[in-house]
Amino acid sequence: SQKIEQNSEALNIQEGKTATLTCNYTNYSPAYLQWYRQDPGRGPVFLLLIRENEKEKRKERLKVTFDTTLKQSLFHITASQPADSATYLCALAGRRALTFGSGTRLQVQP
């Protein structure tokens, strides 16, 4: 069956460092992969979309890579700030709609 795996353990890093979050998937061949940010008590908010033929996508301090051979996406936040603390969800285009991973909680310590 199709599966999306994100590290369920929280990631704690120091302010100013680069945070790297991982999204692995199996039994999928997605044409697109998306990343969302979710704050407590709020709905997810879109951050970045990357296509299968794109290796890397950047937006300000955010960078996403997409390796269809490894079936993995990495999400990087450079020069992290306490305001970046949130849960980050990856999502793959499925047959009917986006399918989401369970998310990784990022905590940036000042």
Partner 1 sequence: NAGVTQTPKFRILKIGQSMTLQCAQDMNHNYMYWYRQDPGMGLKLIYYSVGAGITDKGEVPNGYNVSRSTTEDFPLRLELAAPSQTSVYFCASSYRGRGDEKLFFGSGTQLSVL
Binding flag, residue 98, partner 1 (CB under 8 A): yes
CA distance 68 to 15: 31
CA 104 to each of CA 13, 16, 69, 74, 95: distance values in angstroms, whole numbers, following the listed order: 13, 19, 23, 12, 24
Structure tokens at 23: 């999204």
In the set 17, 18, 51, 59, which binds partner 1 (CB under 8 A)?
Answer: 51
Number of residues that bind partner 1 (CB under 8 A): 26
Binding flag, residue 59, partner 1 (CB under 8 A): no
CA distance 53 to 74: 15
Per-residue x/- marks for partner 1, 11-50, CB under 8 A?
A: -------------------xxx-x------xxxxxx--x-
Binding flag, residue 74, partner 1 (CB under 8 A): no
